Amino acid sequence: MRKLLISIIGLALAVCSCSQSEQAVQAPLKMIIETDMGNDIDDALALALALRAVDNGQAELLAVGCHKNCPTAAAYTDAVCTFYGHPEVPVAMSLTPVQEFSNYVDYSATEKGFVKSHTEYPEPVALYRKILAAQPDRSVTFVSLGFGTTIAQLLESGPDEYSPLSGVDLVALKTTGLSIMAGSYGEKKRSEYNVRNDIPAMQKVFELWPTMIWQNPFEIGKQTMYPGALIEKNLGYYEPNPVVAGYEAYQQMPYDRPSWDILSVLYPIHPELFTHSVKGTVKVDDEGYTWFTPDENGRHIVLSATLDQPQALMKAEQDMTLRYGEWAGKKKLLCFDLDATLTAHRCPLEPANRQLLDTLRQKYDVIMVCAGNCQRVYKQMGEYPITILGNYGMQESTVENGEFKIVREDVFPADTAFFRKQNDYLRAKYGYTKYYGEPLEFHKTGMVTMGLLGTEAPVELKHAFDPDRAKRRVMYPEVCEIFKDYSVYIGGSSSFDFSAKQYNKFDAVMRYAGEHGYTEDQVLFVGDDFDDGGGDSHVRIKGMDYIRIYDYTKAPEVLSFLY
């Protein structure tokens, strides 16, 4: 009988698709999320997706409720909302959480500065009733990512100060439906996790919920694996991200993880990406198994994905969770550093990265922004025809009709005597008294390079000298103090660079952008050296969007989202 029922469901899933009118989804979607935050890690990324949907104008997040038996679940949820720019989202914590017996790592410990007692967060049922009572009729979509406990309590709630209606009547009046991750219909018999942790509550949810239920069963999430490689890239953010920290604490990175809960948030926003069953009724038995019966008067829809749909689902997930995803359509000016971003230090531009530039230039204005002078960069790139801002913006060159041309060169002569004196002092103090060639390089613009191994040191020695910059970081505070009237950079692989105070890569880019009609939000900087003292550091410090390249040979892969 059970095998026959699975076959019937399989036929039903292929029969029809729920129409947009049946979804009654508004834009922006008013959403309340109920989560067992602190169990599987996908709750955290599902919440991040919802918060990004708010940023994109696709959703309004009215509240998030937690029911994991963990004292920091709500605090972690609060931390995620705050990191994603929405500290105003109300977070609730159940006073009757379900005891969860798994051995999962409790990644809620990553909430850091949001340590609060769970009693400092409101109780969710009262909060949900208050919110629902204030919303327009049939305007709110509930999303359930965990057990049915709190939602069952909401349905069984009675009149209160917010509404004279019972829980069922209030939900019937104010909601469009419930998008729920629960149940299983695969060939393998399964009492799915969210169901079995509170079977009586989930039975009440499917029996009493008065508007539509869109059931996202176990199988779709397994078809749609979120790549651990994107988590390792910090989801495209600069600062430590609590969602990423949660993934790192949950299991040893890197690992791909099913998109179970993520899909329940995605569905109300993009229902067209899923396959829907006919209407019917879902029953939960006493062992925690879910059973679907087609019924044209039913209020339940079971979701699935055809063989080719998971690819589209994953693309939508990445577009809404990976910060880079939004940039492809917004950016117009791409600015590249050279050394360690597209080449090894002072080495030729490799064919793959030359092809990368060719590809990107078909869609964007692309320029180089470098510490070295324009002539040197042009030669290092094999005379690649591109605009170059050299010496931290003190120079600008272009290529016209195949001819390299300096179009601007600002000159601020350095105090050579002062530099030589301080160079001798620093070398004597830190032990760099032996070097190849000259100890200092005075550029025409007035920029100065202090090569600790000298101007003529072999490239292989430079590469091996200070790869983690530890040697130069020891000196950096004193170098900055001595040369306080200059911008000081830990340059290249073995040197310090000095430019006039007003010259840095951020200001160089913004000058070019202004001259060519670009706003800052249309600019994307690609480099490798954004830490304090790094040649690209002003880009980070002043808030320009950037991508860090850790391995120049992987640049085409990292930037593939742009083309």
Q: Cis check for the bond before 254: say yes or no (omega within 30 of 0).
A: yes
Say how many domains are in the chain.
Answer: 3
Is the residue at 276 inside a domain? yes
Residue 80: inside a domain: yes
Is residue 285 one of the residues assigned to a domain?
Answer: yes
Q: Give the CATH number for residue 424.
A: 3.30.1240.20
Looking at 292, 325, 358, the residue that finishes a domain is: 325
Are 108 and 197 in the same domain?
A: yes
pLDDT digits (tens, 9 = 90+) for 144-177: 999 999 999 999 999 999 999 999 999 999 999 9
Pick out the chain residues at pLDDT < 50.
1-26, 103
Residue 39 contacts residue 100 (beta carbons within 8 Å)? yes
Contact yes or no for 527/548 (Cβ under 8 A)? yes
Q: State the Cα–Cα distance between residues 310 and 317, nearest whole angstrom.
A: 10
Domain presence at residue 21: no
pTM: 0.64
Residue 84: CATH number of its domain:
3.90.245.10
Q: Domain check: are 173 and 161 in the same one?
A: yes
Rounded Cα gap, residues 247 and 134, in angstroms: 36
Asked if residue 133 lies in contact with residue 97, where contact means CB atoms within 8 angstroms, the answer is no
The answer to whether residue 22 is domain-embedded is no
Quote the pLDDT of residue 111.
Answer: 65
Q: Coil, helix or strand for 372?
A: coil
Is residue 523 domain-resident? yes
Question: Is the same domain home to 277 and 340?
Answer: no
Are 169 and 212 in the same domain? Answer: yes
User: Do 344 and 241 belong to one domain?
Assistant: no
What b/e string do you get for 444-471 counting C-beta neighbours within 10 Å, with b at 16 or more?
ebbbbbbbbbbeebeeeebbebbeebeb
pLDDT in tens, 432-456: 999 999 999 998 888 899 999 999 9
Task: Measure the CA–CA gap between 384 and 332, rounded to whole angstroms.
Answer: 20
Tell me the pairing of strands 387-390 and 395-400: antiparallel
Q: What is d(CA 275, CA 216) in angstroms, rounded to the nearest whole number?
A: 11
- Beta pairing partners, 546: 525
- Three-state DSSP at 535 gives coil
Expressed as residue numbers, the domain containing 430 is: 416-500
| 65 and 145 belong to one structural domain | yes
Q: Is residue 395 part of a domain?
A: yes
Contact 277, 15 (CB under 8 A): yes
Per-residue exposure over 281-290, b if at least 16 CB sit within 10 Å of its own CB, e if not:
bbebeeebbb
Hunting for tokens 């239920």 — which residue is that? Answer: 213
Same domain, 436 and 527: no
Residue 227 shares a structural domain with residue 248: yes
pLDDT at 5: 36
> Domain boundary at 500, 530, 552, which?
500
DSSP state of 502: T
The last residue of one of the domains, among 325, 350, 383, is 325
Does residue 404 sit in the same domain as residue 432? no
pLDDT at 559: 87
Q: Please, what sign has the CA dihedral across residues 453, 457, 458, 462?
A: positive
- DSSP class of residue 358? H
**373 and 228 in a common domain:** no
3-state class (DSSP) for residue 256: coil
- Evaluate whether 349 touches 380 at the Cβ level (below 8 Å): yes
Q: What is the pLDDT of residue 118?
A: 56
> Can you give the CATH number for the domain in which 548 is found?
3.40.50.1000
Query: What's the rounded Cα separation, in Å, for the pair 23 and 10?
Result: 22
Both 103 and 175 in a single domain? yes
Measure Cα distances from 306 to 14, 17, 275, 311, 431 in Å.
Answer: 9, 13, 7, 10, 67
Give the span between the Cα atoms of 526 and 548, in whole angstroms. Answer: 6
Q: What pLDDT does residue 9 have?
A: 37
Secondary structure (3-state) at 97: strand
Residues 121 and 149 in one domain: yes
Residue 180 lies in a domain: yes
